[in-house]
Amino acid sequence: MEIWRLPISASQRGKLISSGYTSLSSLSSISSSDLARELKVSESEAMNILKVASHSRGSETSNASCSIVEGAQSAWDMLHDEESLMHITTSSADLDNILGGGIHCKEVTEIGGVPGIGKTQLGIQIAVNVQIPNDFGGLGGKAIYIDTEGSFMVERAFQIAEACIEDMSEYNRFLRKDFQECKIKMLPQDILENIFYFRICSYTEQIALINYLDKFLSEHKDVKVIVVDSVTFHFRQDFDDMALRTRVLSGMALKLMNLAKRFSLAVVLLNQVTTKHTEASFQLALALGDSWSHTCTNRIVLYWNGNERYAYIDKSPSLRSASAAYSVTARGIRNSSSSCKRIKMM
């Protein structure tokens, strides 16, 4: 966990320590261009340092922290782990802001809204954005897309993938004028190949698939996000035994949470909206009931406000309640283009 153990030259080590980078975890979430600027070295040198650091981190066992209970971690280590986790951007800066950088890994995020608000679009955008390579601030991972409704259209995913690659090339051109090596070699077809697409037609298939994901993920360790669109469709039919439905749903949620934690990936569940019959009036609520609402870590509600689409953080242990505007364009999810948009803090 120490810098002085890294196989780099003495002058580089000196620069790292004098700039304040004393442990490996502090190097885990910085990009090479920022590091180059801080150490006043060339970008390729910074790149090398980061590569060496990540190699050492990978081969090291975390026996430095002694724990009282087997498998337990100290809160300090957990804080370091959390800081080093990356987020999956949604391609809308406002949305990323209220999400604290993007969709969190190791957590289950539920996103719900009325039909036509952009849930499937957001799902596809996340499945594409998880593949953004490390050099561009992404996770460079693959995605699993579980389609229960048949809303996934390949041509739309292709459109979004194309736009993502174009954006990466723009970024490349503006910020890395001297760094030739990082050319975009990705094609939209490559992005589509890295999305593992499952189509399921009944709730038994859904449960079977989620049980199978354990095995699938141990074979494909580079999957970094699971998107389920939508998790509720097959459960809204007649269940003779509602208690069975609640048990099945909580079992499923538990499994997904386990997968998220074990494989360090993000789980995104898309949900529908229903009307709740309260004493006097009808209220809108996410489907599947109250017991389901406890099972997800984060909850985001998408809604219309006038002519704009808004996202609202309904529940989160670490983010404050806020709402932000976004729009669905031909290129995918982007910032809302209205000039009077504002992020409302609650």
Q: Smallest distance from the beta carbon of 340 to other proteins, in angstroms? A: 18
Alpha-carbon distance values, 102 to 266, 306, 332 (Å):
11, 25, 16
**For other proteins, the closer CB: 70 or 155:** 155
Chain centre to alpha carbon of residue 86:
8
DSSP element (H, E) containing 95: helix 93-98
Q: Which range in 35-43, 66-74, 193-201, 288-296 contacts other proteins by CB under 8 A?
A: 193-201
Among 18, 59, 180, 237, binds other proteins (CB under 8 A): 237
> Which residues is 313 bridged to in the sheet?
300
Question: Residue 310 corresponds to which tokens in the numbers above?
Answer: 């808004």
Instruction: Write the single-letter amino acid at 232.
Output: T
Question: Residue 286 corresponds to which tokens in the numbers above?
Answer: 């996410």
**For other proteins, the closer CB: 63 or 237:** 237
255 interacts with other proteins by CB under 8 A: no
201 interacts with other proteins by CB under 8 A: yes
Which phi and psi (to 5°) does residue 192 adopt?
-65, -35
Q: Smallest distance from the beta carbon of 118 to other proteins, in angstroms? A: 9
Q: Smallest distance from the beta carbon of 235 to other proteins, in angstroms? A: 9
The count of residues interacting with other proteins (CB under 8 A) is: 45
Q: Which range in 23-31, 43-51, 195-203, 292-300 contacts other proteins by CB under 8 A?
A: 195-203
Q: Taking the CA atoms of the chain, what radius of gyration do you get in angstroms?
A: 22
Secondary structure (DSSP) of 241-258: -HHHHHHHHHHHHHHHHH
**For other proteins, the closer CB: 134 or 274:** 274
Query: Which 284-323 positions form the footprint of other proteins (CB under 8 A)?
Result: 284, 304, 307
115 interacts with other proteins by CB under 8 A: yes
> Which residues is 108 bridged to in the sheet?
267
Task: Count CA atoms within 13 Å of residue 56 on its CB side.
Answer: 18
338 interacts with other proteins by CB under 8 A: no
Among 103, 269, 273, 286, binds other proteins (CB under 8 A): 273
- What is the SS3 assignment for 173? helix
Among 193, 218, 247, 337, binds other proteins (CB under 8 A): 193
Alpha-carbon distance values, 15 to 30, 118, 245, 309 (Å):
16, 47, 59, 47
Q: Smallest distance from the beta carbon of 287 to other proteins, in angstroms? A: 8
**For other proteins, the closer CB: 179 or 216:** 216
Among 74, 166, 170, 282, binds other proteins (CB under 8 A): 282
Q: Smallest distance from the beta carbon of 84 to other proteins, in angstroms? A: 29
204 interacts with other proteins by CB under 8 A: no
Q: How many CB atoms lie within 10 A of CB 130?
A: 31
Alpha-carbon distance values, 192 to 132, 145, 200 (Å):
13, 11, 19
330 interacts with other proteins by CB under 8 A: yes
**For other proteins, the closer CB: 230 or 298:** 230
Signed CA dihedral, 102, 265, 321, 288: sign only: positive
Chain centre to alpha carbon of residue 37:
28
What whole-number distance in Å separates Cα of residue 38 and Cα of residue 32?
Answer: 10
**For other proteins, the closer CB: 39 or 160:** 160
Among 12, 32, 120, 125, binds other proteins (CB under 8 A): 120
What whole-number distance in Å separates Cα of residue 14 and Cα of residue 146?
Answer: 49
Query: Which 128-187 positions form the footprint of other proteins (CB under 8 A)?
Result: 144, 149-157
**For other proteins, the closer CB: 180 or 281:** 281
219 interacts with other proteins by CB under 8 A: no
Residue with tokens 């993502």: 164
Contacts to other proteins by CB under 8 A: 114-116, 120-121, 144, 149-157, 189, 192-193, 195-199, 201-202, 208-209, 212, 216, 233-234, 236-238, 272-275, 277, 281-282, 284, 304, 307, 330
